[in-house]
Each structure stands twice: as C-alpha cells, then as structure tokens.
Amino acid sequence: MALTKIFDISSRSLAVYRRALEVTSHNIVNAANENYSRQRILLETETSNLTAGIVWGNGVKVADVQRMRDKLVDAHIINTNQKYSDSSRQNDLIRQVEDLFSEPSDLGLSNLMTTFFSSFNELAVSPNSLPLRTNVLNAANNLSAKVTSINHSIISLKSDIKQEFQQKVNQVNTLLRQIQQVNHEQFSNAFNGVPVNDLLDRRDALVDQLSKLVNITVVYDNTNSAVISIGGALAVDRMHSAEFIAEENNGKLNLRVKDGSYPIVLTGGELNALSDVYSKKIPSYKQKLDSVINKLVEAVNAEHVQGYTISDPQKTGLNFFDGYTNGELSVNSEITNDPNKIAISLDGTEGNGEIALRIAQLSDAKLLNGNTLQEGYSSLINNIGNDGMLQNNYTDANQVVLDELAQLKISQSGVSIDEEMTNVLKFQRTYEASAKLIMIADDMLKTILEMV
C-alpha cells in the first residue's frame, strides 16, 4: 500500500509541476506582450484519505491558474482613456483650425487687413495715382483670397472630420462584435473546463481600444461576460452586440443605435472630440470670423458707395466688395477690371480722396460691439488658441494619470523575468525530486520482488 501511494503521489506531483512549468514558460514568452496578464499557479494539498484508521496524504494538486488583474485599476484606465483620447484629439483638431489662419504671419488676416486699410490711407494722399490704386486692389484681392481660402479649408476640414467620425463608428461596431464573440467563447470554454485567461486578456485589450473611441461603462455578469453600455445604451453582452450609426442632424454629428430613436450622449473618446469640434467649436469660430468680415464689407461698401470714380464717365454708387456669400469674399468686378473705378472722391472733384481717408479710418472704428475689426479678429484667434491650450493641458494631466495607472498595472499584471526564472528553477527541482521518488519506489519494489 505504501509503495503504491508513493507512486500515486509522485506521479501526481510530476503532472502538477509540469503544469507549473508550462504556466511559468507561458509567462516568460509573453513578457513583452503589453496585453498579457501574468498568470500564477495556485497549489494546494490534495484531500487526504482515511484507510484502516490511518490518514494517508495524497500529495499536491493544482487549485487554480490565477490571472493577475486588478479590475479597479482597469476601470480607472478605461475612464482615463476616454478623457485622454477626447482631449488629445480635440487638441489636434483645434491646432489644425489654428493653422488655417496663419497667425501671426505676413499671410495672416490680421496683417492683410492692416495692409488693406493702410493702402487706402496712402491713396488718400495721392487719389489719382494708378500705382496706389493698384496697391489697393492687390491688398483687397489678397484679403479676399485669404478669407475665401480659410473658409474653403474649414469646409474641407469638416468633411475630413465627418469622414473620420464614420470610420470611428465602424471601428466601434467591429470592436463590439469581437467583444461579444470573446464573451461567448469564454463562457463556453469556462463551462467546459477549458482555460480562459488568454481570452480574457484579448477581451480586455479590445475594451481598452473601445474606451479610446467612445465613453463606455463596463460591468461583468455572473458568467464573467463583459456587459458594456455606450452613453447609457446597451452595446454588448454575452448574447448580442448592438450596431451604431453616424448621422448629421442640424449641423451636429451624432451617434445613434441603428434601431434607436435618439442620439447617444457623447462625453468622451475620439468620437466626442470629433463631434464637439465639428458641431460646436468650428461653427463658433466660423460665426466670429463671419461677423468680422461681414462688418468689414458692410462698412467699406457704405463709404465707397458714396464716392465717385475717376473713370470716364464718372460713376458713383459702386460697392467696393461684391459681398461675402457662402464663405467667399470678392472685389467688385468693375473695380477689378479698372482700378480707376475705386470711388474715393466725395464730391467728384479731381484730387479728392475723402472717401479713401474714411475707409482707412475704419480700421480704428468700434464696429463690433465696442471693438475694432482687428480686436474682434484677435479675440477669435485668442479663443482658438485658448481652446487648444485648455485641451493640451487636459491631455498632459490625463497622460500623467495614465502613466501612473500603467505602472500600477505592470506591478500587478506584468511579468518579471527574474521572478519567473526563479520559479522555473524551483518547479524544476521539485519535478526532478518527484521523478526521483518514483525511481526510489521502483527500486524498493524490485527489492521486494527479489525477496519473494
């Protein structure tokens, strides 16, 4: 009986420590895999037997292969991912808007407006000078071209944002389907006694990716399936995954469940960044730009229409700008074709430049709620810069939190090669000792048989 017990215990021990070596080897080869969670084999004493009044030990068994993961840290990472991705993407997009204005530079609207009004001031001194009239026309055309270019670029940027929003929604749907599939597989495997730790690592990696795209809430049901909501709407569980669609309504980019009636409330992730910049920030910037340009056109035309040209025949009642329509600013085609039709004579007499002087003085006039055109435009540029700086500060702050959480995650789930190699040696020695026990028991059995 004793020899048989030694064989049983030792054989069981070989299997246990072979499994321990497998787990340790799996850890080592995944040390560089950032989505891998360290696994720890838990051993416990096998249940003893009571035979003929004697308690017989049965050795060791594998109680569990534990996945080292802290769900509280994971929850913080998911929450911070949403904030970081939102602020980071908003910062990038706002910087793109800022670049459209080319400020401060010679090509910026601020300098072009200054040049435009200065050209009228120079023309007021020599009203009949064709070179100075040409300078006015060139300054006006440069100003018009920049305004039009900015607006065309804004339209192009919004188109790119809308396209990216759709692509991100497609990514969300793909991730939801993959998470649902892993939910199903881990449930089936767990039910059949198949290890699921690697599947759970894969699912957590998918959830991390999802949290960078959109604001999510994650809980786990009694089958350890991830149940995820997006903005309060069920997105995925073990049985199904929802499909979301992108839509534009009243100039706002929305996310909606395909069969749902109402848009999802976006509060984080790249989708919120894209929607917020597209739906709120860019329209706000555009409205402020339009107010400056509309007031400039209105004020210049109001003065110019009173003036007389030096063309033959003289004309009056001409607008200097054709208008500002659909983001396009252009100079009156009559003036473009003939700079002598710049109407700056107040009374029609030769050498009178009163209208030119009035137009030049518009640069200092309080035309925008008590502000000059330059002040109104500078306010716009400052708003864009401040919005970008705010998002940059949020990004930096969230990066610090993510770095700290990453270290916490590594301390809990990361693989230490030194620690694992120590375990390899420990398990190897125990495995060898178990094998030696079998050899000893075998020798003892041979001795007994030889005595018979």
| Residue 81 region by backbone torsions, left for phi larger than 0, else alpha for psi between -120 and 50, else beta | alpha
What does the alpha-carbon distance between residue 187 and residue 191 come to, in Å, rounded to a whole number? 6
**DSSP H helix total and E strand total for the chain:** 11, 11
3-state secondary structure of 348: coil
Domain segments of the chain as ranges: 2-68+416-451, 76-400
Sequence-ordered list of residues with C-beta below 8 angstroms from that of 406, at least 6 positions apart, any chain: 77
DSSP string, 4-57: HHHHHHHHHHHHHHHHHHHHHHHHHHTTT-TT---EEEEEEEPPPEEETTEEE-
Rounded Cα distance, 230 and 123, in Å: 62
Tokens of 85: 């991705």
Placement of tokens 């809990």 in the chain: 412
Q: Which of 364, 344, 363 is nearest to 354 (CA)?
A: 344
Backbone φ/ψ region at 53: left (φ over 0), alpha (ψ -120 to 50), beta: left
Walk along the chain (452 residues) and give the pLDDT tens digit of each residue: 467 778 888 889 999 999 999 999 999 999 999 999 999 999 999 888 777 677 677 889 999 999 999 999 999 999 999 999 999 999 999 999 999 998 999 999 999 999 999 999 999 999 999 999 999 999 999 999 999 999 999 999 999 999 999 999 999 999 999 999 999 999 999 999 899 999 999 999 999 999 999 999 999 999 999 999 999 999 999 999 999 999 999 999 999 999 888 899 999 999 999 999 999 999 999 999 999 999 999 999 999 999 999 987 888 999 999 989 999 999 999 999 999 999 999 998 888 999 999 999 999 999 999 999 999 999 999 999 999 999 999 999 999 999 999 999 999 999 999 999 999 999 999 999 989 988 887 778 778 777 76
Residue length of the chain: 452
Beta bridge partners of 51: 54
Identify each DSSP E strand in 128-278 by its residue range. Answer: 216-220, 226-230, 233-236, 244-249, 252-257
Rg (CA), the chain: 38
Predicted local confidence at residue 445, as pLDDT: 76
Distances (CA, A) of 44 to 16, 48, 427, 438: 10, 12, 15, 21
CB pairs under 8 A, 24+ apart, for 435-443? 435/10, 435/14, 437/6, 437/9, 437/10, 437/13, 438/6, 438/7, 438/10, 438/11, 438/14, 440/6, 441/3, 441/6, 441/7, 441/10
Can you say whether the dihedral through the CA atoms of 98, 101, 106, 107 is positive or negative? positive
Cα gap 184→110, rounded to integer Å: 60
